[in-house]
Structure 1
């Protein structure tokens, strides 16, 4: 395969991965154990709780998601995004009713992609 063909394949692959991203919202939480998936086992801090949209009767446990901030959801912090993406592991279920987002990130994961003062942000996410 020549270099031009390799570049074209890489470009097509990156477009496919971007096209598969799903729009949603993210919030954050701070108490990580116990979790619905792992009980009292510590799973680190790059974790998240899934809303009903992702939970799938617990099938989401252990799945990895790439989450990127795309913008604010309110007037409080006009530019909350930090330009980074983060990969998190689903370890819990966002309480229903009461879940305020598509994915509830650990405070550490949220802080990597956005200003925590925003509280809630618009995101794109996809399973990795």
Structure 2
């Protein structure tokens, strides 16, 4: 039993070690998208900011995203320990965040009233 707990702990630490900090916003219109046109890709999706976009090379990449804190006066926007997996389907030039999450993905990890949150993603 102790070895299983140790393995889980080590895996958690490895995941967090490769996490990249950033910020997230959210959006509501999912099609058309820069990657998939008018083809719906579900609601657990995101748009990539200019630094991540790389001429669309990031299309289809899956990220795990976790809220890590507030960027504005909304206290404690994060839902503790919650993570969401999102697929990059769009480009958000000048969106003001690292990732622009779908409203559903944002609401899975944080209170949407916050509007912008600090995140870790991997």
Aligned residues: 121
Unpaired runs of 5+ residues, structure 1, are none
Q: 2:12 aligns with which of 2, 11, 14?
A: 14
TM superposition shift of 1:47: 0.2
The answer to whether 1:105 aligns with 2:101 is yes
Query: Residues of 2 paired with 1:23 and 1:34: CA distance?
Result: 28
The residue number in structure 2 matching 1:93 is 91
TM-score, with structure 1 as normaliser: 0.87
TM-score, with structure 2 as normaliser: 0.91
Structure 2 residue matching 1:55: 3-state secondary structure: helix
TM superposition shift of 1:49: 0.1
The residue number in structure 2 matching 1:26 is 24
TM superposition shift of 1:7: 5.5
The residue number in structure 2 matching 1:78 is 75
TM superposition shift of 1:11: 3.5
Q: 1:42 aligns with which of 40, 43, 56?
A: 40
Structure 1 residue matching 2:120: 3-state secondary structure: strand
Query: Residues of 1 paired with 2:2 and 2:113: CA distance?
Result: 45
Alignment root-mean-square deviation, CA: 1.5
**Which aligned pairs between 1:49-60 and structure 2 lie closer than 5 A?**
49-60=47-58
TM superposition shift of 1:53: 2.4
**CA pair 116-10 structure 1, distance change in 2 beyond 3 A:** closer
The answer to whether 1:116 aligns with 2:112 is yes
TM superposition shift of 1:14: 2.6
